[in-house]
Amino acid sequence: MDERSFVSEKQESWDRLSRSLEQMRMRGARSLSREQLASLGSGYRAVVSDLAFARSQGGSERLVAYLNDLAGQAHGMLYASKSAKLYGATTFLVREFPALFRSTFRYTLVAFLLFVAGWLTAAYVIYSIPDSWNALIPEQFREATDTPRSGKSEAMKTIFIGIDPADMSSRIMTNNIKEGMKAFAGGVTFGIATVLVLFWNGLVIGAIITIIGRVAGLQMLLPLLLPHGIIELMAVFICGGGGLLVGSAMIAPGNVRRADAMRIAAAKALRLFAGALPMFVVAATIEGFITPAAIPNFAKLAFAGVTAIGLVMYLGFAGSGAVSRQPSANG
């Protein structure tokens, strides 16, 4: 298969179908001309035929992913009904999102490693330059660091006194979604901004955890972090992985145009971000209501264990049958 000639011959028809679908998505079917409406069906059938040809002739993964994505969009626009929207959302969360997570896992892993690099940097600075922690620690925790060791646990507990759990949950969710959006949107800078956001968050969070761990001990720290932190940080890493996916497509578009490679990667990244949003909501609710609750620490740690197992089962095994319908991980 001469892929370059094939793409050159078919690109105009693919672009025409893509523009019609985008116009239909943004302004509705009534905004399309009669010619555009008439060509939607034939355009869909043509792209499905092109997809089958590319697969049978050994086309590149990026080309197959592009055609698969375009055919999927066309099918959704032409055949999906309003009554199917709720079912589609449920199917996405239960099947498609975890399958997409697994197919793009290497980007999430890189996001995690960047976060860890920031954390290790913070820990190194704090242990190498003891006075540096006063500049790194948030103001609301400074009272605890100045408290005699015998009273540190009580000082840490006072951080949560007087805080409305619902208000805390709302603020936490808003902040974490903002950080996830930054990591995701940073992909358009060839991934540079995403790298910086992930490293900086690792630096700040790592500094806080390192400092509080030193002054209050792990027996005080872990029950405050683990119940919500496992889900929360995974959501941030997934958003960061989406940003890195877009940046990778910009740097190495393969045999398709850079704009098309970005569109394919952005479609995947948007689905990753959409799937991470409910995780932010769950984490913020836990952090607002369970983390400051007057329950034994062992109960909080047990709850954290349950969330970790549930997250592994969900992301690792849910939607196994949907993997084959996901575009290639190469973006």
For residue 160, is pLDDT > 70? no
List, in sequence order, the alpha helices (H) in the chain: 3-27, 34-56, 61-79, 84-91, 97-103, 105-128, 133-136, 139-146, 152-157, 165-185, 192-216, 218-251, 258-289, 297-317
Question: Band of the pLDDT at 161, cuts 50, 70, 90?
Answer: very low
Q: Hey, what are 244's tokens?
A: 């890195």
Nearest-angstrom CA–CA distance, 72 and 88: 13
Q: Over the stretch 179-233, which tens digit does the pLDDT of each residue have?
A: 889 999 999 999 999 999 999 989 888 887 887 777 667 777 788 888 988 999 9
CB half-sphere exposure, 231, CA atoms < 13 A: 27
* Location of structure tokens 């290639």: 328
Ramachandran bin of 293, using left for φ above 0, alpha for ψ from -120 to 50, beta for the remaining angles = beta
* Domain residue extents for the chain: 3-80, 103-325
3-state secondary structure of 48: helix
For residue 155, is pLDDT > 60? no
For residue 330, is pLDDT > 90? no
Q: Whole-model pTM?
A: 0.69
Mean pLDDT, the chain, integer = 81
